[in-house]
Amino acid sequence: MKKRLAIAGVIAAVLALCALGTLAYFTAEGRATNVITTGTVELTLHEMQQGADGQLAEYPDEPITGVMPGQSVSKIPYVENSGSQSFYTRVKVAVTVTGADGTPLSGDVVSLNVDARQWLQKDGWYYCAEPVASGEENRVALFDTVTFAADMGNAYQNCTVDIDIEAQAVQVKNNPIPAGGTVLDVQGWPAAA
C-alpha cells in the first residue's frame, strides 16, 4: 500500500509540475516614443534699394548704369533670420572693379556706409554686435548706400563694379558672448570659404 501511495504521490507531483508549466500569466508591455525636434539656425540674404519715391524695392537683376564720380547709389543688403532660433551673424563684402578693357582696377574708389556702432570688423568680416531674433521682421542691414569717389579718373569710365556679399550665422542658445567679450569672441563660426 505504501508503494502505491508513493507511486501515486510521484505521479501527482509530475502532473502538478506539468500543469504548472501550462499555466498562463497575465503580462503587459509598454513603449514610449518621445519626439524631440531641434531648432534651426537659418538665414536669408536679401538686397533692396530705396527708390526716388522713398519706397523700398527688390534690388534690380540688371546692372545699374551711368553712375558718375561722387554719386551714391542705394543698395541695402540685409540678413533675415528665417529659422526658429536667434543667431549671431557676420557678413563679408568683396568689391571688385574691372575696367572697360578687362583690367582689374582698385576698389578703393568704392565706399560702403557701414554702421560702425552696429557692426564690428575683424579679419575681413563685419559682425553684428547684437543677436538677430527669429522672425521675418527681424533683419539687420549692413549698409544702405554705395558711394563712388569724386576723384575717380578716366580709367574708371565704363567700368564694372561687382559687390559680392556672403553671410554666416551661428546659434545664440548655449553659445554666450564670453564675460568682458563681444560677438567677435563667440564660438562655432563656419569655416570661411
The domain that contains 72 carries what CATH number?
Answer: 2.60.40
Residue 150 counted as domain residue: yes
Residue 22 counted as domain residue: no
Q: Is the pTM of this model over 0.85?
A: no
| pLDDT single digits (tens) 123-170 | 999 999 999 998 767 889 999 999 999 999 999 999 999 999 999 999
Residue 29 counted as domain residue: no
Residue 95 counted as domain residue: yes
Residue 144 counted as domain residue: yes
pLDDT computed for residue 24 by the predictor: 62
Residue 71 counted as domain residue: yes
Structural domains in the chain (count):
1
Q: Averaged over 81-102, what is the pLDDT? A: 93
Residue 186 counted as domain residue: no
pLDDT computed for residue 18 by the predictor: 62
- pLDDT at position 95 over 70: yes
How high does pLDDT run on average in the chain? Answer: 87
pLDDT computed for residue 102 by the predictor: 95
Residue 162: closest CA among 111, 97, 110, 101: 97
Q: Averaged over 174-187, what is the pLDDT? A: 91
- Give SS3 for 165: strand
Residue 188 counted as domain residue: no
Determine the Cα–Cα distance for residues 10 and 190; give it in Å rounded to an integer.
79
Which range of residues forms the domain containing residue 169?
A: 43-180
